[in-house]
Amino acid sequence: MRRREFITLLGGAATAVWPFSGRAQQSAMPVIGFLNSGTAEGFVPRVAAYRRGLGETGFQEGKNVAIEFRWANGRYDRLPSMAADLVARQVAVIAAGGPPAARAAKAATSTIPVVFTSGDDPVQEGLVASLNRPGGNVTGVYLFLTQLIAKKLGLLHDLLPQVSVIGAILNPGTAGGGVQAKDLEATGRALGLRVQFANAGSDKEIEEGFARLGQQRVGALIVGADPYYVSRRAEIVALAARYAIPTIYELRAFVDAGGLMSYGTDLDDGYRQAGIYAGRILKGEKPADLPVLQSTKFQLIINLKTAKALGLKISDNMLSLADELIE
């Protein structure tokens, strides 16, 4: 049974006019620069959700708004030049998907509005002054993905209490990867578990990480929160199946692809909310006065078919905690 998920606003939103760049000619169709850390093929549902959000504010791509896409394909070092290109094109709003894209967009402009979708804490990342009153030209949606890593380790421990060594695949090229590593080490010590890390920021490194952790015979695995991993979810889930490692992921998209279980927020709804914010800004609201949206509901999704293939018995207690069971 699936519980309803929602994202709520903290605080009110003022409606002062925002003089965004690229609007010299009021009759011209505004352009949104869609800057993303992942891949186009991996984010098709997120783009569709973003368009739905725009539609809720009266904007339709090709009719009264244009979108220019920039995909880093996991090469986060490319994001600064991509952000600079969008600024040079004087887009009306930058939609920054993922923490690395958000940081690149903020560094590239202090005038063009930026609406991020990020799993990292935007205050700690320096994206906004505060969640309730972000200030400046940046606001967005905070999904709490990196902060949930300790909870995922606890869920794996509940599922497999006999396992003492758990693997973790993290992206070392992001600040979020470092935060997750520290949280895993601390939680592992508290639970009496040893965590084996594999750093992976490319397809080759992901494959090598699984092979190394497989050789080390880890009893279970956590795949960290990272936009690139979302783009490569089919490949990652296939590797987990090849090595027969019970694995927990950040989003239900992994479980839909055949992964064992996930604990996280609704990424599609986050992108929809970001689309709504972009539309509101295009209509004249000021990003400094739009509070950062925060996820308040989290989903535990379990794939019973995958559990059966792995020979796992899911306890009645864990089944009762699940928001949705995929059979």
In the predicted model, what is the mean pLDDT of residues 245-251? 96
- For the chain, the straight-line distance linking the first and the last C-alpha, in angstroms and rounded, comes to 12
Distance between alpha carbon 40 and the CA centroid of its chain, in Å? Answer: 15
The CA distance from 131 to 45, in Å, is 27
Looking at the chain, the whole-number percentage of residues with pLDDT higher than 90 is: 78
Check pLDDT > 90 for residue 320.
Answer: yes
Tens digit of each residue's pLDDT (9 = 90 or more) over 265-319:
988 899 999 999 999 999 999 999 999 999 877 899 999 999 999 999 999 999 9
The CA distance from 127 to 99, in Å, is 9
Tell me the Cα Rg of the chain.
20
The CA distance from 1 to 36, in Å, is 33
- pLDDT for the residue 20: 40
pTM of the model: 0.81
The CA distance from 262 to 116, in Å, is 23
Check pLDDT > 50 for residue 10.
Answer: no
Q: Which of 11, 5, 1, 57 is nearest to 327 (CA)?
A: 1
Using DSSP, state whether 40 is helix, strand or coil.
coil
Check pLDDT > 60 for residue 48.
Answer: yes
Strand partners, 247: 221
Which amino acid type is present at position 138? V
Q: What are phi and psi of 165, to 5 degrees?
A: -125, 120
Check pLDDT > 70 for residue 321.
Answer: yes
Instruction: Enumerate domains of the chain plus CATH numbers.
Output: 7-144+266-295 (3.40.50.2300), 146-264+299-326 (3.40.50.2300)
DSSP state string for 293-320:
EEE---EEEEEHHHHHHTT----HHHHH
The CA distance from 88 to 79, in Å, is 14
Tens digit of each residue's pLDDT (9 = 90 or more) over 102-114:
999 999 999 999 9
73: number of Cβ within 10 Å: 16
Tens digit of each residue's pLDDT (9 = 90 or more) over 214-232:
999 999 999 999 888 988 9
The better pLDDT of the pair 179, 33 is held by 33
| Residue 76 DSSP label | G
- pLDDT for the residue 8: 39
| Residue 219 DSSP label | S
Check pLDDT > 90 for residue 21.
Answer: no
Tell me how far CA of residue 269 lies from CA of 30, 164, 204, in angstroms.
23, 36, 31
In the predicted model, what is the mean pLDDT of residues 200-213? 95
- pLDDT for the residue 231: 87
Check pLDDT > 80 for residue 15.
Answer: no
In the predicted model, what is the mean pLDDT of residues 46-63? 97
Tens digit of each residue's pLDDT (9 = 90 or more) over 122-150:
998 899 999 999 999 999 999 988 889 99
Check pLDDT > 80 for residue 174.
Answer: no
